[in-house]
């Protein structure tokens, strides 16, 4: 089974695809979709949607997973995150992909063993779980962690 993990953000959305066969997982692909901060919001959202739709078309995952939405102290940041999530999840819906949502603490616990893990601990564990994978950046690493958590929590 191919699982697409997503870490939506208006500035840089991470994506990662793993293959899960029973309790075994392997890296398939990962990347980041960056948007131009000077572009209009509608153009940025369209870019996110199109890029995620292209990833789905290229890899044909069986399902997707994303972190549950959380509220920032800054309302504008929360709104931008929600808009980016909407564009990314719409691309999944367009492809008839089921999207599982997991709390960030649950993702960290599934990958590292503790819900309070920081980004460096998650990235270190990814190197153990997906040996040889070249991860495109922090957002792609987060997306791979979401996919791994989904495989474990399924």
Binding residues for Mg(2+): 7, 67, 139
Active-site annotation holds for 46: no
How many Cβ atoms from other residues are within 10 Å of residue 82's Cβ? 13
Helical segments of the chain, H only = 41-59, 75-94, 104-112, 119-129, 138-153
Residue tagged active-site, from 7, 118, 142, 150: 7
139 is catalytic: yes
Annotated binding site, which residues?
A: 7, 67, 139
In sequence order, which residues have a C-beta less than 8 Å from that of residue 79 and are 6 or more positions away? none
Q: Which of 46, 67, 136, 150 is catalytic?
A: 67
Please pick, among 101, 118, 139, 142, the residue that the annotation labels catalytic.
139
Residue 50 near residue 88 (C-beta atoms within 8 A): no
Catalytic positions, please?
A: 7, 67, 139
């Amino acid at each position: 089974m191919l699982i697409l993990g997503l870490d939506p953000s208006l500035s840089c959305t991470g994506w990662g695809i793993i293959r899960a066969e029973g309790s075994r997982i392997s890296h398939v692909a990962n990347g980041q979709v960056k948007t131009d901060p000077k572009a209009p919001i509608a153009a940025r959202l369209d870019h996110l949607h199109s890029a995620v739709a292209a990833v789905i078309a290229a890899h044909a995952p069986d399902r997707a997973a994303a972190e549950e939405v959380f509220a920032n102290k800054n309302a504008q940041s929360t709104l931008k995150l929600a808009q980016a999530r909407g564009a990314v999840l719409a691309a999944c819906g367009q492809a008839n992909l089921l999207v599982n949502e997991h709390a960030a603490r649950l993702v960290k616990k599934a990958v590292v063993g503790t819900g309070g893990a920081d980004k460096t601990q998650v990235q270190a564990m990814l190197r153990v779980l997906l040996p040889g994978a070249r991860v495109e950046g922090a957002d792609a690493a987060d997306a791979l962690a979401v996919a791994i958590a989904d495989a474990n929590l399924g």
